[in-house]
Amino acid sequence: MPNTFPILSHQGFSLDDEAQAIVETYPGDPPSYRMYKHANTAMKTETIVLRRLTQTKLATVRAFFAANMFLSFYVYDPSEGVTNQTFDPTGVSTTGRHLAIFYAGQGAAPKLSVKNAGNCIYDVDVQVLLLS
């Protein structure tokens, strides 16, 4: 069983569904276009937003990134009703669970963005690509 991302994104998150295609537009009245479809499914990315983490929680997130930066893992999606009370760090619960990988864009290396927000307080943005 894959590991589970250790913290639920209860402070915030963003979702992006992107069609797997290339769209070329051509001038005119009305404009025309040509679409080169790569797949019938949307590529779904999620940015997990963690705010005001303590140094201990930051160390947990960084250790998880270091151990899983090239592996798939589970994330729980708050948009599907998962809360801190129902979050399952063991990965057994399937409600709102998705298989994911760290993602920074097509062709880019996985990245963990950390900002110091104050004295031993950190803000972290984690972008993942949902595989399921």
Which pLDDT tens digit goes with each residue over 9-65? 655 666 666 777 788 899 988 889 888 887 777 788 888 888 899 999 999 999 999
Give the pLDDT score at 10.
Answer: 54
Paired tokens of 35 = 């679409």
Token reading at 40: 């019938």
Instruction: For 64-77, give one letter per residue: b (16+ CB within 10 A) or e.
Output: bbeebeeeebbbbb
- Give the largest CA-CA distance in the chain: 59
C-alpha span between 130 and 45 (Å, rounded)? 6
Structure tokens at 66: 């270091």
Q: Tens digits of per-residue pLDDT, 59-101?
A: 999 999 999 999 999 998 887 888 777 888 888 888 889 999 9
Distance in angstroms (rounded) separating the CA atoms of residues 73 and 5: 7
